[in-house]
């Protein structure tokens, strides 16, 4: 039940959920989580987990790696997130991968939109510590809104009537929405008029089985579509929850998507971005290069236009290829979000001698509790020229040193001379 355990650990980190049960009698683990719970921000949590004490405990290395990868993603270092916690399994890549003779690549958002009239429910997954897997959903929001989609459900949303009660994403909106790309996705959903839907069951005692979790999520979504016969729903979930095959989740649980279909009788279009995790770690990159992938894409057979899936068709309807990323880049260029944002040079020299140092840019129209529009944790003197990625607008820029002391604050105006405005509803 790795994913559930990981979510539980993450909840512990910033007190986002009731405490999860820990193994009794393991003093180092108890001490670790006691100190972890004392960290009140992502930045302080990151500093704790990169410290000597957390890194030295061999019993906690896997736990720390998972949580640290998520914090790297939150703090604007997505390549480091993957480096710390690669998502691979023990399977070798198939020998019959698609090639340009039999398949062509098309933008995934366009293909999904072309199928949308046949579905009331579309499900897309993500890898929680890989923000690049949020780009497709960000692009889908406007396209599907024009086709009558009304509700946006995300696994991470906190169980509250309005996850955006403040009018913008905050720490209370959810856990993974603390990552700036996810926060931007939520802002876009609000701007387009979507109803935001939490659907994760409330497991206060931490004793819920994997099947109870899958069925509980499915039941919440099933109740929604039954209560609102005109609703059309885009669901953004993690990993295998959107699979449609029986017994494919931990403990042989039937996944949420399959349970939703059982409860409602409605078809689901299921799109995976996390399946190509073969052992060699290179097959997905080879495919991206071979097909010249520059945006999240699907592959269509040239003869019959059948969409390709790396898994059995009964499990997912289509697999998405993501553009290959320069692993050596501190901040990869996909952070432009398809032209919505541009790299803006920052003067991070005040951070030198105060590392690690956090640069935060918040929208001027949002409060101090808002998730930053972008942020970056500087770890070395040579990173002082690293940009933030920002859309045109007004911002408040703040630099925080390793002791949370404010090193600099100023206003920032990004001129409207590059990214085009996003589509209107």
Q: What pLDDT does residue 14 have?
A: 36
Q: What pLDDT does residue 189 have?
A: 98
Average pLDDT over residues 97-111: 97
Kindly indicate the confidence band of residue 18, based on its pLDDT and cuts at 50, 70 and 90.
very low
- Element counts in the chain: helices (H) and strands (E): 12, 14
Average pLDDT over residues 174-186: 97
Give the domain ranges of the chain: 2-84, 103-319, 339-414
| CATH class for the region spanning 103-319 | alpha beta
Does residue 62 have a pLDDT over 60? yes
Does residue 245 have a pLDDT over 60? yes
Would you give the end-to-end CA distance of the chain in angstroms? Answer: 40
Alpha carbon 117 to its chain centroid, in Å, reads 26
Q: What pLDDT does residue 27 have?
A: 56
**What are the CA-CA distances from residue 152 to residues 148, 194, 199 (Å)?**
12, 6, 11
- 9 against 274, higher pLDDT: 274
> Lowest-pLDDT range, 249-258, 308-317, 339-348, 402-411?
308-317
Burial of 361 (0-12, 13-18, 19+ CB in 10 A): buried
Q: What percent of the chain has pLDDT over 70?
A: 91
Query: What is the spatial distance between Cα 31 and Cα 304, in angstroms, rounded to a whole number?
Result: 59
Is the Cβ–Cβ distance between 177 and 146 less than 8 Å? no
Average pLDDT over residues 72-86: 95
178 DSSP assignment? G
Q: What pLDDT does residue 313 have?
A: 63
Residue 103, strand partner residues:
301
Does residue 115 have a pLDDT over 50? yes
**Which fold is adopted by the domain 339-414?**
Immunoglobulin-like (2.60.40)
pLDDT digits (tens, 9 = 90+) for 297-307: 999 999 999 99
pLDDT digits (tens, 9 = 90+) for 346-364: 999 999 999 999 999 999 9
Does residue 21 have a pLDDT over 50? no
Does residue 15 have a pLDDT over 80? no
Alpha carbon 142 to its chain centroid, in Å, reads 18
Provide the whole-model pTM.
0.91
Q: What pLDDT does residue 282 have?
A: 82
**What are the CA-CA distances from residue 85 to residues 18, 41, 65, 404, 413 (Å)?**
25, 21, 6, 27, 36
Q: What pLDDT does residue 64 have?
A: 87
Q: What pLDDT does residue 424 have?
A: 44
């Amino acid at each position: 039940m790795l994913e559930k355990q990981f979510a539980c650990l993450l909840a512990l980190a910033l007190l986002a959920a009731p405490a999860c049960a820990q193994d009794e009698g393991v003093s180092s683990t108890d001490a670790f989580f006691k100190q972890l719970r004392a960290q009140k921000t992502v930045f302080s949590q990151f500093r704790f987990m990169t410290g000597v004490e957390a890194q030295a405990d061999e019993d906690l290395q896997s736990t720390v790696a998972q949580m640290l990868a998520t914090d790297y993603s939150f703090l604007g270092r997505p390549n480091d997130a993957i480096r710390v916690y690669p998502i691979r399994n023990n399977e070798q890549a198939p020998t019959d991968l698609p090639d340009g003779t039999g398949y062509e690549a098309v933008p995934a958002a366009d293909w999904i939109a072309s199928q949308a009239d046949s579905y009331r429910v579309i499900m897309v997954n993500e890898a929680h510590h890989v923000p690049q897997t949020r780009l497709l959903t960000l692009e889908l929001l406007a396209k599907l809104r024009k086709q009558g989609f009304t509700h946006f459900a995300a696994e991470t949303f906190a169980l509250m009537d309005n996850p955006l009660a403040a009018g913008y994403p905050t720490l209370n909106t959810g856990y993974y929405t603390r990552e700036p790309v996810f926060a931007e996705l939520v802002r876009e959903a609000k701007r387009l008029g979507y109803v935001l839907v939490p659907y994760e069951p409330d497991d206060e005692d931490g004793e819920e089985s994997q099947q109870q979790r899958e069925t509980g999520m499915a039941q919440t979504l099933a109740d929604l579509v039954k209560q609102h016969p005109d609703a059309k729903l885009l669901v953004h979930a993690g990993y295998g929850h959107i699979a449609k095959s029986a017994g494919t989740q931990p403990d042989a649980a039937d996944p949420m998507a399959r349970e939703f279909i059982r409860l409602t009788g409605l078809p689901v279009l299921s799109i995976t971005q996390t399946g190509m995790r073969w052992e060699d770690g290179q097959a997905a990159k080879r495919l991206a290069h071979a097909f010249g992938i520059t945006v999240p894409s699907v592959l269509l057979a040239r003869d019959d236009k059948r969409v390709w899936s790396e898994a059995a068709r009964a499990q997912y309807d289509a697999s998405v290829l993501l553009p290959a990323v320069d692993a050596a880049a501190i901040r990869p260029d996909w952070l432009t979000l398809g032209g919505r944002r541009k790299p803006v040079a920052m003067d991070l020299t005040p951070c030198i001698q105060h590392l690690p140092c956090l640069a935060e840019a918040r929208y001027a129209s949002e409060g101090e509790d808002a998730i930053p529009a972008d942020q970056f944790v500087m770890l070395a003197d040579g990173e002082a020229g690293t940009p933030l990625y920002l859309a045109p607008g007004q911002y408040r820029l703040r630099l925080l040193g390793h002791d949370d002391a404010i090193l600099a604050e100023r206003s920032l105006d990004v001129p409207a001379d590059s990214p085009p405005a996003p589509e209107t509803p």
